[in-house]
Each structure stands twice: as structure tokens, then as C-alpha cells.
Structure 1
Amino acid sequence: MPGFNSEVRKSLQKAFTALADHYGVPTERQHFVEGPPGKALADFAAHHRADVIVMGNAHRKGLGKWVGSTTEHVLNRVPCNIFAVMGAADQ
């Protein structure tokens, strides 16, 4: 990851793997993607011909509550559906 040293990257990947394992995501379905979030998600979805992208939304107010900047970036760049999930703080 640009801007992250190898120890930070290893720590992030370890946390990602632990979370995926906790929720029973098979290893072959775990993808640790690097880069600017919106671009990385859009590129990954296009390359893998995704049918749907499930994204969490950060807590915001107004129109931003429904579509954050990352979600908006992905929404405008993928030919598949996006399912935005609001966290408990957003409800």
C-alpha cells in the first residue's frame, strides 16, 4: 500500500483475515485489495465481473448519509448493483 510501511500493511492484512475467518468467508473468497478505495473496488468488481457490491456507509448527514464519496465513486464506475448498508450509528 502506498504510504504504509510493511509492518502496517501486515497488521491490516492480519486484521482483515481474522475478520473474514470469524465470519466464515472461505479463503478463496477473501481478497485484500490495495489502493484508493473507490478506484480499487471499481477495478476489482469490473475485473471479476461482480453482480453486486455490498458496501457499508460512514455516518453522514443529508444526502451524504445515503451515498458517501467512496460509494459514489464506485456507483459511477461499475455496471453492477450496489447494496449500501448503514451501520448502527446511521440508523
Structure 2
Amino acid sequence: MAGYKRILVGLDLSEESSQILEKAGEISRAFAAEVSLAHVIEPLTFAYGGDIPMDLSEVQEQLQTQAREQLSKAAQRLDVPTERQHVILGQPATEIHRLADELEADLIIIGSHGRHGLALLLGSTANGVLHGAGCDVLAVRVQSE
């Protein structure tokens, strides 16, 4: 197996993200690979379909600022420099694929909550990333903390 050189880690910034970071750290050390972190925020207009008669841009900016702060804290665990920390606005699976291509990542690491039933039927970010990636994808099974 060829070694990995560039790893993109997609985080949802939940408490379980530490489990994904731990696995990413193990793999990056084993292959002496460069790690980039990404968190994708869906625009509020996607979630509410423009049905709210108010400007959500300030709220969206606050969400992005908070995400940058949380991602920065997560990055400290693996010594990931600021230029490899990405907070992106868009659809998660699509943006992770785009960023992986842009960074020429050869491995994407994401968390999988292992949901069943309706969540499986509707799909998930992990499933979307897995089925559209141009490189290897590792779905780390996370346990509720």
C-alpha cells in the first residue's frame, strides 16, 4: 500500500470530533502525512429555504466565527497550522470533495455515527463523502461521549 501524503479531516466540531482527531493523528504520524482540517457550515438559507423574513447574514457570520475558533482549538491537538484550517460555507459532502481535490488529498477522514433506519435511508454526510470522493475515505466510527 502506498503511503498517504495529504490527509483531509472533515469535522462536525461535536464532542466526538476528538475521536476522529485521534485516529487522524495516528495515521498522519504513521505516514508522516500533512493534515488539513475542514468544517462545513450549511448556509442558514438552505436550512430555512428563505422562509424567514429577516436578514440572517449576521447570524451566519457568528456561526462561522465560532466554527473558526473551535476548529483552531481542534487543530492544536495535531499542530495543524492556520493555513490548513478550513471553515467553508456550503453543502458538506460537496465542499469536502472540492477541498480534497484542491488540496490533492489522498485520504479523507470523517466521522460516522452509525445511525440506522431513517437516517440511513436519507443518507448522511459520511455517506455522501464516501460515494463521491476521488481518493480513499476512512469513516471513523465514533462513540457518544
- TM (norm. structure 2) is 0.50
Tell me the number of residue pairs that the alignment of Structure 1 and Structure 2 aligns: 85
The structure 1 residue matched to 2:68, chosen from 13, 16, 31, is 13
Deviation of the 1:29 alpha carbon: 2.3
Which string of whole-angstrom CA distances, capped at 9 and with x for unpartnered residues, describes residues 13-36 of structure 1? 111111112332222322222211
1:57 paired with 2:112, answer: yes
Q: Which AA in structure 2 matches 1:73?
A: G
Q: Which AA in structure 2 matches 1:79?
A: G
The structure 2 residue matched to 1:30, chosen from 82, 85, 92, is 85
Deviation of the 1:40 alpha carbon: 0.8
SS in 2 for 1:76: helix
* Percent of aligned positions that are identical: 31
Q: CA RMSD in A?
A: 2.1
Deviation of the 1:69 alpha carbon: 1.7
Q: Which AA in structure 1 matches 2:93?
A: G
Which string of whole-angstrom CA distances, capped at 9 and with x for unpartnered residues, describes residues 3-54 of structure 1? 2422222112111111112332222322222211111111111222210100
SS in 2 for 1:25: coil
Query: 1 CA distance for matches of 2:143 and 2:126?
Result: 18
* Unmatched 5+ stretches in structure 1: none
**Alignment partner, residue 140 of structure 2:** 85
* Unmatched 5+ stretches in structure 2: 1-40, 45-58
Q: Which AA in structure 2 matches 1:54?
A: I
**Alignment partner, residue 98 of structure 2:** 43
Point out the structure with the larger strand share: 2
Kept after mapping to 1: 8 A contact 2:67/2:87:
no
Question: 5 Å matches for 1:64-75?
Answer: 64=120, 69-75=124-130
Indicate the structure whose relative CO is greater, using CA pairs within 8 Å and at least 6 residues apart.
Answer: 2
Task: Tell me: CA distance 1:31–1:9, structure 2 relative to 1, closer, same or farther (3 Å).
Answer: closer
